Amino acid sequence: AQRVTQPEKLLSVFKGAPVELKCNYSYSGSPELFWYVQYSRQRLQLLLRHISRESIKGFTADLNKGETSFHLKKPFAQEEDSAMYYCALLGRGGGNKLTFGTGTQLKVEL
């Protein structure tokens, strides 16, 4: 079974403060992990994927297999970062099953 856990439903930070959105996963194989973002009135879209090791809009995420975590981080939050963030796991066993966490609403206050 594969499962993604995002412990925080809501995270509120001030502009310029560091951000960390937590994600833990459970999967018996080698996972592929993603962060998706949903801005107000827009479609859910891919933010970044762990295999790319990229920084998108200042966000980074490192896969920690020992802690089974894939936390999303940004050193300085911007007002436009306010959105709903979903962590997702792609399990290859038996097909490309894409499972999401329950999401964290990030609110960046001025």
Partner 1 sequence: DAGVIQSPRHEVTEMGQEVTLRCKPISGHDYLFWYRQTMMRGLELLIYFNNNVPIDDSGMPEDRFSAKMPNASFSTLKIQPSEPRDSAVYFCASSLHRGDTEAFFGQGTRLTVV
Footprint of partner 1 (CB under 8 A): 6, 32, 34, 36, 43-46, 49, 51-52, 86, 88, 90, 94-103
Do 99 and 3 form a contact (C-beta atoms < 8 A)? yes
**At its nearest, how many Å lie between partner 1 and the CB of residue 16?**
28
End-to-end, the C-alpha distance of the chain in Å comes to 41
**At its nearest, how many Å lie between partner 1 and the CB of residue 101?**
6
In three-state secondary structure terms, 52 is: helix
Between residues 44 and 73, which has the closer beta carbon with respect to partner 1?
44
